[in-house]
Structures are given as C-alpha cells and as structure tokens.
Structure 1
Amino acid sequence: MVQKYQSPVRVYKHPFELVMAAYERRFPTCHLIPMFVASDVISEEKSDDDSTHRIERRCKLDIDAPRLLKRIAGVDYVYFVQKNTLNRRERTLHIESHNETFSNRVIIHEQCCYSVHPENEGWTCFEQSASLDIKSFFGFESTVEKIAMKQYANSIKKGKEIIEYYLHELEDEGTTHVPRWSPRPASPVKPVTPNTHSTTLPTMPAVAIAAPSETSKEGQADKLDADYINRYLGDLTPLQESCLIRLRSWLQETHKGKIPKDQHILRFLRARDFNLDKARETLCQSLTWRKQHQVDYLLDTWTSPQVLLDYYTGGWHHHDRDGRPLYILRLGQMDTKGLVRALGEESLLRHVLSINEEGLRRCEENTKVFGRPISCWTCLVDLEGLNMRHLWRPGVKALLRIIEVVEANYPETLGRLLILRAPRVFPVLWTLVSPFIDENTRKKFLIYAGNDYQGPGGLLDYIDREIIPDFLGGECMVIPEGGLVPKSLYRTPEELENDDIRLWTETIYQSASVFKGAPHELLIEIIDASSVITWDFDVCKGDVIFNIYHSKRAPAPPKKDPLGAHGITSPGGNNVQLIDKSWQLGQDYSMVESPLTCKEGESVQGSHVTRWPGFYILQWKFHSMPACAATNLPRVDDVLATLQVSSHKCKVMYYTEVLGSEDFRYTMNLRFKKGGLFTCINNTSSN
C-alpha cells in the first residue's frame, strides 16, 4: 500500500532570493544534517542568461536504522537521486528526488517547491509532498515504514529550522538583501562540467533527512499555511498536518460546492486517531446527514417551542478558564418525561443539535478573542434532584438516540464534562448510557458527589469564581428553575405519530388491569444477589398500592383467567395473579419494600437492590378506601364483585428491567462510601 504525505505551506517572511542564498549554505556539508554524508553531481546545465539552472545529484545518506536491519539489507548507506530546477525568472525552485538503493523493494518519491508568496512578493513559500511504497523488505516492511515515517516527521520539523538558521547567519554577516535576477540576451542551454561543489544545491528527501513541507502546484486556496494551522487549529505533528491536508484536498475534489471548515475536518481526524480512511468515511456520512436534514441552516431556521423556553433547564454561560464556551445543564431539575410527552423525540433532538451548532459558533468566536485555537467546549451538569423519575424508559431511549446522533456528527467537541452533586441513582443512569458514549469522550468526564466539587481539584480549578451560578453557591442567576411540565401540554400518541414521532411506550410498555381482590403481579427471578430491579409505571385509572415481595420458591404458574371474556386478559388489560391464597406472609414470602400508594395520573419510577437470590414479585393492588379495609371477602368473590362495579377497576402501564450486579457496579470507577456516592475523577487533557 502506498503511503502519501503532505505538509502545509511553510512561509519564510523573507524574499525568494535571500531564502535561496540561505538554502545554498546547507551544502556541500551541513553540521545541522549529520546524516548527509556526501554528494556527487551527475549532471548540471544552465541557460546562457543564467535564468535557469538544472542540477542532478547523487546523495549519500546514513539512515537512522537499526544495525541489524542494515546487516540484513547488506548496506550501511542509502543513495538518493535528486533533480533540482531553479528558475530565477519565475522565482521558483522545484526539487524531485527518489531512492536509488533498494528501488526494487521500496519506492520513495518526493516533490518540493520554493516559490514567491501569492499575496506578498517579499515572502517565500515552501511546499512538500512524498510517497512511500514498500513492496518487500526482507520481512521488515512495517519496521521500514515506521523508520520512514519517523524520518519524514523529523525532516519536516528540522527543515525550516535549518533555513531560519542560515537566514539569521546571513543577517549577522550584514546580508539582508539579494538582488533579483534581471534579463539578459538568452542563448541555448549548454552543458556544464560536473562539479561536486556547485553552489546551487539540492535538498535531501523528506523521508531521509531534513526539509520542510507540502504539495505540488495547485490552486493556492487549496493549501493550508503552517502559521494558520498553528494559530487556528493547534499544534499538530507533521503526519497529522499531512492527514488534514490530504483529506481537505480530497473533499475539494469530490464534494462540489461548500466543504466543511478545517476545524470540523480536524475533529473527525482526531476522533479516529488520524486514520485517514476511517475519518473520511465517518465525515462523508456526517456531511450527507447534514445535507439531508439542512443542519447548516439550523441556527437560522430553528425556533425553540415555548415549552422548551419555559421548562428546559440549560443554557450557555461565559467560558471556562481555558477559554472554552461553557454550557450549564440542570438535569436534576428537568422534567424529562414531561418534555418528551409534550414535544416528542424529534423536537428534543433538534434542540440539542441547535445547542451543538451554537457551540461550534462560539468556539470560532473564542478562538478569535483569545488568540489561540479553541475547538471544544465545557459542559457542567448539575444532578441535584436526579431520581428514578429521570430514568423513565422512553426518556432514556430518546437520550440514547440523541447521544448516538451527537457522537456520530459532533466528535471531539466536548473538551470537559463536569458532573456535580451526583446522587445514588446516578450509577443506574450511567450504566444505561455509558456504552453509547465514545471511550475518548468518557475520559473527559469529571464526577463529583455531594459538595466534593467545592474542595481542591474541584469546580474552581476550571471556572472563575465570579461566573459560578447561584445554585452552586455563586452569584450568577443564569439557568431557569425548570419545574414539571403541565400535563395539559402533553400530546397524545396519535398527535406525535402524525408528526412522524413515535413514543417508545408503544413497544416497551405493557398494560394491566387491577381489580379489587385481583391484583396484577409480575414474577422476576434473580440469580445474583445485589442485582437491581428497576420499574417505571403510570397509573392510568384509579388508585393502586405497589408492593415488592421475595420468595425462595417459585409460585405456581398462573392459571388462565376464566374472566378473559370480560377483557381482563386482553392485550389492553392483562391481569396475572401469582401469590397463592394459601401462602402466608412472613412464612412463604416476605415484603422487601414498604407499600407505596399511587394515585390516578401519577408516574412512578424506582429501583430495588436485591439482597438475596430467588423470586421477586412486583404487585399492583387495588387501593381500597379505609371504610372498606375491614371487609375480608374471599378473593374470587371480590373479583366477581368488581365486575359489577366499574369504579373498582384500575389500569396501569408499566415497564421493568433487571440490571446485573456487574453492570450495576460498572460506573466508571464510581464508589459508594458511607451511603453516598464517592467522588471519582478521571483527569482530562486539554484539547
């Protein structure tokens, strides 16, 4: 496979002729390039007016390779052939080089060009590209490739330093100007006797020694300047610069019209560890997605519904100590279920996308303001108030979809995530969502429980004191309180379906009818102690009492309900009874949670950490009025009685899930200490 390398345009803020004078001082020997051993001129020719000078040279190099590899290859030195063409009229120097040694096994080709800066005649540009094709090398192909890549990176870095060194040397000697070439009567090109010490000298191949950077003749707009990269994109290695240049050039060739900004391209490269093929694939998929959904115009076209303005507890707030835009989300105060029921999944997704688009815009602004590259933002999430209500399954499903979309289309935009006041329920939420979060993103999470964020290594290490919000002890009142979304704003499933937005309750929730004397019961078998049983149910009609029982032995299989004709076991109103009338509470089974009374219209979420293996029974029981509590009718009689009194029928819609003990413990090194969540901090590096 051919490996190709390109580097950004390096700019010397000196005239072309002065740069050429500095370049010539690199040869015939240069103490800054110890691996360059010798060179012999093969051929040389000049035009009569001295405007063109061509020279071909054979260079001897001592490659920095393991001695064992040199012995196996049978060589101590490697030879390269270089062809240089200096055009003083056009003010360009073109350099081509290829390896002579092992040319049947390894093909190295390089092209370099010095030219006048297109916008400033007093500056000089240097461009460089190289390719490496290893066909075979005694079984050491990967080793040779690594050596070549390392040599290329070193040469890119060293090349500009060498030119700058000799420019300073010329300046110290008093040479700050070299006259430009002026035309003279031309005559045919004549051969020149080879001279090993000719003053117009070649560069060395980038993969072998030191020479700066980038491409062949293309439109200048297609190129990236090294100073621009350093100023707006950050410190990149030569190989990372090469990946950015090549992917950008490919997009210009294949994607007609608008292409993404360099910062956006770089995010996809970073997310794929600069694997060019993987980054190109994911970036192209994202570009297609953006086009299909008109995401580029989202900030201009999206208007947040009033319910979001009133009840969404998040917003942008200044910047952190690194200059990154700061987004604050009070997740614990947010009615996630109400927002999903009132808006639907699609509207919430569009709102989150608009937040990400706004974040990209703010990063660009802060880059200009602070004079350094800022490519990501910081997010502060306050979990005070988080409980099982936030684990309402359709809401979690919507969250997972949002995470999936954001991870695919906004990689490397999160610089740091500060999670504050994490409660005990947080591990359950984390277990659900963490598998959908990229590993590199998870490393940027900093998690604090209780008031641990106020101490050393806490919030003040990342955010200035004067911008800390009031709910965290500061003086800024910036984020709305949120509150419960009124049920009057809820939309029916039919309305959401008409907008092509389907709630997840249609597929994961079950319905059950509860009668006086005929509770609905659900059996869950637990193998491992310390597993977690979670539940989420809505009381659609009537009042119920929710109980959890444990038994060492399994109840008898439920009998088919003879009252199915009356609709009790129909899909819209299932009823299952498991606890036999002969069972004695405290002997055959035991209660593991205090009874919970739930009123009509309530939404209930909760969890139970199991202490023993065995069988757990979740029970929804008809809630009798106190006056009826003393009545102790036989169970069947109660059921028959309820059929005649419609008010004795309740209906619930429920979803349950069991989390294994290992999954529950895996909470990104979260630990419980003294009944509370103990702080876990994963240090994150600045991007």
Structure 2
Amino acid sequence: SAAMVQEYQSPVRVYKHPFELIMAAYVRRFPRSHLIPVFVDSEVLKETQSQDGATLVTERRCVIDIEAPRLLKRIAGVDYLYFLQKNTLNRRERTLRIEVHNETFSNRVVVRECCNYTVHPENEDWTCFEQTASLDMKSFFGFESTAEKLAMKQYASSIKKGKEMIEYYLKELEEEGVTYIPRWTPPVDPGAARLQPPPCSAARAAPLSAAEAGQDGKEAAGPSEPAAGSPDDKLDADYIRRYLGDLTPLQESCLIRLRQWLQETHKGKIPKDQHVLRFLRARDFNLDKAREFLCQSLTWRKQHQVDFLLDTWQRPQLLQDHYTGGWHHHDRDGRPLYILRLGQMDTKGLVRASGEEGLLRQVLSINEEGLRQCEENTRVFGRPISCWTCLVDLEGLNMRHLWRPGVKALLRIIEVVEANYPETLGRLLILRAPRVFPVLWTLVSPLIDENTRKKFLVYAGNDYQGPGGLVDYIDKEIIPDFLGGDCMCDIPEGGLVPKSLYRTAEELESEENRLLTDSIYKSASIFKGAPYEMLIEINEASSVITWDFDVSKGDVIFHLYHSRRAPQPPKKDTLGAHGLASPGAANAQVIDRNWVLGQDYSMVEKALTCREGESVQGSHVTRWPGFYILQWRFHSSPACSASSLPGVDDVLASLQVSSHKCKMMYYTEVLASHDFRGSMTSLGSSHSGFSQLSAATTSSSQSHASSTVSR
C-alpha cells in the first residue's frame, strides 16, 4: 500500500538570548552528549567556510541507537542507524539551518528533518527555533506501522530534548562566566584604516537568566505575557502553553498545519486558535477528519451569519421573560457557569410562541457568549479555559416537558450544537432529577457524543447538598438562592407562556432566513365531507403512535382506525358531479369508500371531539402490526340538524365554503417499542401529571392509550 508522507511542524520556540550565545550552547552537544544517550557518536565528514568566514557549512555522520524493540532490530539486522546532517551557519545573517536525513534503509524509509535558528523579528537579542520533519515509509519488513510509531516518538522526544540541551548548556556557559559573545564582524580590509564600530545593540550584555527578562510569570501583563501574534503569525510555544494548554508535539503539529491550511484556503473569518483546537480534540487530532468537521461548521456559520449573531440579534421579550437560563459567575476551575432551570421552563409554550427557530437562535447566542466567556476567563485566570460548566435544575419537571414536539426541538437543537460547538461543555450537573427523568434521558442520550456524555453528573432529590455534591464543583458563595445558597441569581422565574402569544403553523413556517429546513408542525385543512386522513404503517406490535394537534378554526372529531390490509391509493377523479373541484380535493382519502367499519377496518380509539382553540396530545400503544389511520373530521354543530328543512342560514352557509373548513396544526411520530424501554409504564403512571395540566383527560382503557385536551 502506498503510504502517505507524514509531515510535522513545530511551533516557534523563543529563547530570550542572543543568537551567538545559543550557537555556543548548541555546538556543545557534539560529538556526543550525556544528555542524549541515543546519540551514540558523530564525526565531521567535511567542513567548508566562505572566504570572509561569514558562512560555515559542516557535514556530519551521526550514529543513533534507536529505541526500538529488540525483535525489530534483529529483523532489520542493524543495531545503529546512520543519519547525515548538514549544518549551514550564516554569521552575517545570524541563522543556522540544520538538514538531516537517514542513510540507513534510505530505500525503504525517508526521514527528513529541517531546523532553523533565526533572530526574533521584534527583538534582535532573542532567538527563534523551528523544526519541521517528514516521514515517507515505503516498506519496512512488514512492520511499517510500528516503525512509523517509533519515528513519531523519536520526533516528539527530539523536540523536547533539543530544548533541554540548549537550556542545560546555556547554564553551563553561565557557570563558566560566559554570558555574552560579540557578534561576527567582517574581517578588516588592511587598506581601510578605520575600524568598524560594533553594532550598537551588541554592547548590551544578554540578560543572565530568564527571571531578569521578566519571565517569572508573576506579573500578569508583564513582558512574560506571550503576545498572540508571534513571528509571521506563527504559533509560538509559550503562547500555546499559556492560551491553549499543554499539547504534545504531534498535537501542536496538527494545530499548526490545520491553521496554515485555513489561512491559505479559507475565505472569510478564521476561527480563533482555541476554537480550531476544539475540532481537533473532537476528532482525536486526526487532521483530515478534523478539517472536514471544521469546514462543515464554517460553511454553516457563513450560511447563517452566525459570526454576527451576538451583535445583530435582539433577544425577544418573550425569551427574556420565559427562558429560564443565564450565565452565573464561574465554577471552581474558572470555567464560565451557565444555569438552566429546565423544570421551571414552559418548553411547549416557548416552542409554540417563539418557534423552533427562535429557540435555536437563543441557544446559539448562549453558545457564542460561552466562547467569548472562555476567552475572557483565559485572560483573567492566566491559564487556558476552553469549556464551560452547565448546571441544569430539574425541579418542577413534569409530563409537559415530555411533550414530543418539545423533545424533538430539543434534539434538533442538541444536534446543531454538537456539530458546531464541539468540546465546549466541560461538565453538566443535573440537579433534583425527578422520576420522569430517565424517560427524557432515554430519548436524548443517543444523540449526544459519547465524550460529552461522560461529563454528565446526575443528582436526584437533595443529593446535591453537602460534601460530594455541588460544593465540589462550585464555590459555596455563589450557590444560587433557589438551590439553598446565599447568592442572588437573576435568572427569570419562567412560568407558563400565555396562549395569546402562540403562533400558527403558517407564521412559524413563513419565517425569514431559517436555520432549519423543515418545521416540526404540519398544517392541515379539514372540509365538510372531506376529512383529513393520515396513514401510518406499523411493522411491530407495541410500537407507540403519538400525536399532538391544535385546532385553530372550527371543531374537529378525531378518530384512530386500524386495518390489516393496505388501503388503495385514491383514483385521480377529484372533479365533483358538476365538473367543479370538490372542496376536499386537497385531502386525499385513505379509507376506501367501499370499506365497512368493523369488517375492513376497526376503530381503536374512542372518537374525541376537539373544539376551536384546544390543544390535544395523546399516544396509542399498537396491539397489532398493520395500517393505522389517523382521521380528523369536520364537526358540524347539532343545531342545524334539528329541523329537517334547510333553513336560510344553512343555504347561505353552504355557499360560503369557508365555514365548512376547519384548520389545525399537527405533529405525529412513531416510537419503536425498544426505544421506549419500559418508559411507557412511567408515562402511564404520570397521568396525574397530565391531569394537572389539562382541563379534561380522556383515556380508553381497552387500548392503553390516552389523549389529553388542554384549553
């Protein structure tokens, strides 16, 4: 198999010492050094110097005792590996370029390494170091992947060792009293009598130690604070450690390469380093997977102008009053803390009044705020903080929260967040979990990334109080009042969203620049003589059909039927006897006109009459596989049928087709029995929860189903 060439790139390392001193420290590692026992020996093959002595080229052969399993050495038939190293020192430009490649096995493996020591672009008394490497594994006795891992390990350790050696020999030089080495000056031409004055800055002695250079790190904004923009916008090692955390050399390499790729190819705003790193972490630093993941998110951000969300979106009053969440100080690790009083939130009311779009925008704005808070806390606490902690209080959670469209909206929002804000949730504390919580959890958990799930902690009842509870994660001083703490927390109380604020399906569908392609609800019209019917095929018994509908105009009768055989699709004859389209042309009839109730199909739910303005939700556990038909029928008031003669009103009414039309918005879903994993029992046992919410509860025992009507 043709292996790809692996490439590595180190961050820039800055030594706060002049180039000449670093060079004096560097040459001390030759011909060998006790600091790197694997570097057995080296010999100079050739040394050439330019006429003026400005450039010196040294070629060496180095002997490496590679730390490899004995078996591999035996198969390869070698104890040592030979590398060729070519060093080009330019004293005038103050640069050293080191090029290394392998001599042993060069027909099977090509290892190349290139290191550069250069002067820091903003301070000529400092020196920068950078290293790149590439590995092209053609074949290695069938041990390609082992050899590749060894080479990667070698690369990582050589980066670490290189730094330790320079620091060790700098210290050794200092102990010998060498703290300053003058810069190279061109040899004096005997014809010119005047000596050249040394460059002015060379007169300053190099700082003796890092501490003198203001690197003791105690002063937060002193010279030790690494600036975000290092040479040519490259990442430097100190900046990474300070703002992004401790990364392995290979992780650093992935970050640098992904960032380079973005700078070269991405049009538009490039995300912050911390955010790029989140995508790498989410894909275990697999560069290609992380790049693809990040690109999808960047496209999404651009499409929906998420970069401008915080500055352009105004949080509607409805959400300010009824969305029971907010930022509240930080946890013990300095992570921003977000508190959500989910149990106090009227999820149904929020979905119906602000729509899924409005809710999604709200959640996105919270996540965007979270990204900003992380940056701010990183600055304030002097260490990298890249995620936040979320505390969810479930006190008050009831069946209203298991309302299917609400759960569906929640799941879709979770999906968007998982795809665009990976690795942002550091910890999720779930408090005061009630009995119905496992049901909700069963529905939500499959969508949540496994890494994220590990960060969930659930406390039932008052378990969160006392040691081992909340105080392990949050300082006692900031525990909010509603959890028994002393801290005032100005998160809205929530409460029911007034029905007058609910919006119709049409309003929700016609919303501008949508983030979601389809709406949860569908709208339907029901005509006199043309009911609205919907067919659901069930393959396994004891599946659960759930429905949820709101009648916005007229009165409706709702039926649920079952048939063992598939209804035939209706014929294309939509024209009535007079050649006029019948008012129900829009509604395809599922139930065959020739079918006989009780013979061809049976009624499995008692008829339910729903008045204008009512909301109905219910579910039915299917006893048999086959075809289920949900039917909504026009309900005419019985007053008309009292007299057998048609009155003037009736004649007028029949001319005005609109009065023969009902409107509703509905949502249905089928849950497979295994998805429910016994949660039906808890749904059944929560009827009391239902009846508190609704004015009337109807349930027919013979079908283990229930519908609730709320006015």
TM bucket, shorter chain: 0.7 to 0.9
Q: Which position in structure 1 is the counterpart of 2:430? A: 419
1:271 positional shift = 1.2
**In structure 2, what is the Cα distance between the partners aligned to 1:573 and 1:422?**
45
Q: Which position in structure 1 is the counterpart of 2:222? A: none
**In structure 2, what is the Cα distance between the partners aligned to 1:36 and 1:666?**
65
**In structure 2, what is the Cα distance between the partners aligned to 1:98 and 1:571?**
76
Question: Within the alignment, does 1:479 sit opposite 2:491 as a pair?
Answer: yes
**In structure 2, what is the Cα distance between the partners aligned to 1:177 and 1:33?**
24
**In structure 1, what is the Cα distance between the partners aligned to 2:30 and 2:390?**
54
Q: Which position in structure 2 is the counterpart of 1:177? A: 179
**In structure 2, what is the Cα distance between the partners aligned to 1:390 and 1:618?**
24
> SS at the partner of 2:177?
coil
Q: How does 1:447-526 map to 2 (within 5 A)?
A: 447-454=458-465, 456-475=467-486, 476-496=488-508, 497=510, 499=512
**In structure 2, what is the Cα distance between the partners aligned to 1:451 and 1:621?**
49
Segments of structure 1 that go 5 or more residues without pairing to the other structure are 188-217, 629-636, 638-642, 677-687
1:505 positional shift = 6.5
Q: Which position in structure 2 is the counterpart of 1:631? A: none
> SS at the partner of 1:291?
helix
Question: Within the alignment, does 1:318 sit opposite 2:321 as a pair?
Answer: no
> SS at the partner of 1:278?
helix
CA contact (8 A) 1:568 1:574 kept: no
Residues 346/18 of structure 1: CA separation in 2 closer, same or farther (3 Å cut):
same
Q: Which position in structure 2 is the counterpart of 1:273? A: 284
Moved more, 68-77 or 524-533: 524-533
Counterpart selection for 2:303 from 284, 289, 292: 292
1:511 positional shift = 7.4
> SS at the partner of 1:411?
coil
Q: Which position in structure 2 is the counterpart of 1:681? A: none
Moved more, 299-308 or 390-399: 390-399
Q: Which position in structure 2 is the counterpart of 1:232? A: 243
The number of residues matched between the two structures is 621
Aligned partner letter, 1:495: E
Aligned partner letter, 2:37: P
1:521 positional shift = 11
CA contact (8 A) 1:47 1:186 kept: no
1:232 positional shift = 0.3
Residues 380/29 of structure 1: CA separation in 2 closer, same or farther (3 Å cut):
same
Aligned partner letter, 1:488: S
Q: How does 1:20-419 map to 2 (within 5 A)?
A: 20-47=23-50, 49-171=52-174, 173-185=175-187, 220-255=231-266, 258-419=269-430
Counterpart selection for 2:613 from 597, 601, 607: 601
Counterpart selection for 2:548 from 536, 541, 565: 536
**In structure 2, what is the Cα distance between the partners aligned to 1:7 and 1:116?**
17
Residues 534/257 of structure 1: CA separation in 2 closer, same or farther (3 Å cut):
closer
> SS at the partner of 1:491?
coil
1:143 positional shift = 1.4
**In structure 2, what is the Cα distance between the partners aligned to 1:596 and 1:453?**
44
**In structure 1, what is the Cα distance between the partners aligned to 2:536 and 2:306?**
45
CA contact (8 A) 1:532 1:660 kept: yes
CA contact (8 A) 1:7 1:242 kept: yes
Moved more, 491-500 or 277-286: 491-500
Aligned partner letter, 2:464: Y
**In structure 1, what is the Cα distance between the partners aligned to 2:350 and 2:363?**
13
**In structure 1, what is the Cα distance between the partners aligned to 2:591 and 2:395?**
38
Aligned partner letter, 1:421: R
**In structure 1, what is the Cα distance between the partners aligned to 2:429 and 2:558?**
36
Aligned partner letter, 1:181: R
> SS at the partner of 1:344?
helix
Segments of structure 2 that go 5 or more residues without pairing to the other structure are 190-228, 571-575, 577-581, 645-649, 687-711
Moved more, 427-436 or 62-71: 427-436
CA contact (8 A) 1:93 1:113 kept: yes
Q: Normalising to structure 1: TM-score of the pair?
A: 0.76
CA contact (8 A) 2:48 2:56 kept: yes
Residues 254/613 of structure 1: CA separation in 2 closer, same or farther (3 Å cut):
closer
1:500 positional shift = 5.8
**In structure 2, what is the Cα distance between the partners aligned to 1:479 and 1:466?**
17
**In structure 2, what is the Cα distance between the partners aligned to 1:349 and 1:483?**
20
1:365 positional shift = 0.6
CA contact (8 A) 1:469 1:478 kept: no
CA contact (8 A) 1:48 1:186 kept: no
CA contact (8 A) 1:544 1:598 kept: yes
- 1:373-410 deviations in Å (ceiling 9; x for gaps): 00111112222333343344444443333323222222
1:369 positional shift = 0.8
**In structure 2, what is the Cα distance between the partners aligned to 1:361 and 1:5?**
31
Moved more, 414-423 or 239-248: 414-423
Residues 498/648 of structure 1: CA separation in 2 closer, same or farther (3 Å cut):
closer
1:51 positional shift = 3.2
Residues 575/80 of structure 1: CA separation in 2 closer, same or farther (3 Å cut):
closer
**In structure 1, what is the Cα distance between the partners aligned to 2:396 and 2:430?**
13
CA contact (8 A) 2:524 2:663 kept: no
CA contact (8 A) 1:335 1:485 kept: yes
**In structure 1, what is the Cα distance between the partners aligned to 2:672 and 2:539?**
9
Aligned partner letter, 1:178: Y
Q: CA RMSD in A?
A: 4.6
- 1:311-343 deviations in Å (ceiling 9; x for gaps): 211111111111111111222222233323333
CA contact (8 A) 1:391 1:605 kept: no
> SS at the partner of 1:127?
strand
**In structure 2, what is the Cα distance between the partners aligned to 1:393 and 1:327?**
25
Q: Report % sequence identity.
A: 75
CA contact (8 A) 2:553 2:663 kept: yes
Residues 556/573 of structure 1: CA separation in 2 closer, same or farther (3 Å cut):
closer
- 1:550-592 deviations in Å (ceiling 9; x for gaps): x9x989999x9xxxx9x99987698989xx9999xxxx9999x
Moved more, 496-505 or 56-65: 496-505
Aligned partner letter, 2:34: H
1:545 positional shift = 10
Aligned partner letter, 2:371: L
1:507 positional shift = 6.0
CA contact (8 A) 2:12 2:236 kept: yes
CA contact (8 A) 1:327 1:377 kept: yes
Aligned partner letter, 2:179: H
Aligned partner letter, 2:38: M
Residues 15/219 of structure 1: CA separation in 2 closer, same or farther (3 Å cut):
closer
Moved more, 326-335 or 260-269: 326-335
**In structure 2, what is the Cα distance between the partners aligned to 1:422 and 1:73?**
61
**In structure 2, what is the Cα distance between the partners aligned to 1:443 and 1:123?**
45
Moved more, 651-660 or 159-168: 651-660
**In structure 2, what is the Cα distance between the partners aligned to 1:503 and 1:151?**
50
CA contact (8 A) 1:514 1:575 kept: no
1:74 positional shift = 2.1
1:264 positional shift = 1.4
Residues 434/107 of structure 1: CA separation in 2 closer, same or farther (3 Å cut):
same
CA contact (8 A) 1:394 1:504 kept: no
Residues 445/598 of structure 1: CA separation in 2 closer, same or farther (3 Å cut):
farther
Moved more, 307-316 or 388-397: 388-397
Question: Within the alignment, does 1:434 sit opposite 2:445 as a pair?
Answer: yes
1:148 positional shift = 0.6
